[in-house]
Structure 1
Amino acid sequence: MSGYRHSEQSRAPEARQITEVAIERFDDVFEVDPRLMTAHVMQQVFPNWDTLRIVASRHDHLEWMHRHWAGTVVSAQALLDEIDD
């Protein structure tokens, strides 16, 4: 079990600019650049562990939504292939 250190968890890693609108702080976790949202959306400080918890559970949540609400699940790749044809 690791200890919780507020100073370590309240400062996200340095952001890398991926595109004009996307940043990456953790590997394969893309965010809208907060600088683009500050005028309309109040930014909150999330502890690093909470961000990683949300990311880890997003596939479970998506699967739950599919099971409960989707009659058919269409992959994004299938849509792109259809556009290309």
Structure 2
Amino acid sequence: MIGFRLSAQRPPDPRRVNDVVVQRFDHVYEVDPALMRDHFQQHDLPAWDTRRIVDSRWEHLAWMHAHWADSVVSGEELMSAEE
């Protein structure tokens, strides 16, 4: 049987970013789970699963850029173009 102990993989306590956003890992923002409980059942995710999901998203984004983007514009470039 393959498994893990959730107690050994608890994510860090959330740090509040603003009224509706918390952050447990660097560069990973979440809607505050306390705000979501009335609308959706919340599940405990082990830390490794959160990291796996984030890594997969970066891989997907890189694939999309490689296959569909003529160029990639950073947020900083967009903000400076507005000014």
The TM-score by the shorter chain falls in which range? 0.7 to 0.9
In the alignment, which residue of structure 2 is the partner of 1:53? 52
Higher mean Cα deviation, 32-41 or 72-81?
Answer: 32-41
Helix, strand or coil for the counterpart of 2:38?
coil
Equivalent AA in structure 2 for residue 8 of structure 1: A
> Percent identity at matched positions?
51
Give a deviation string over 1:4-58, Cα, whole Å, max 9, x none.
Answer: 323222x432111121222112233221212233333433322211101222343
| Structure 1 portions without partners, runs of 5+ | none
Matched, 1:65 2:55: no
Gap runs ≥5 in structure 2: none
Helix, strand or coil at the partner of 1:31? strand
Write out aligned runs for 1:17-36 (5 A).
17-36=16-35
Paired residues, what number? 81
Q: Quick one: which amino acid aligns to residue 78 of structure 1?
A: E
Shift of the 81–53 alpha-carbon distance from structure 1 to 2, 3 Å rule, reads same
- Give the 3 Å change call, closer, same or farther, for CA 28–72 of structure 1 in structure 2: closer
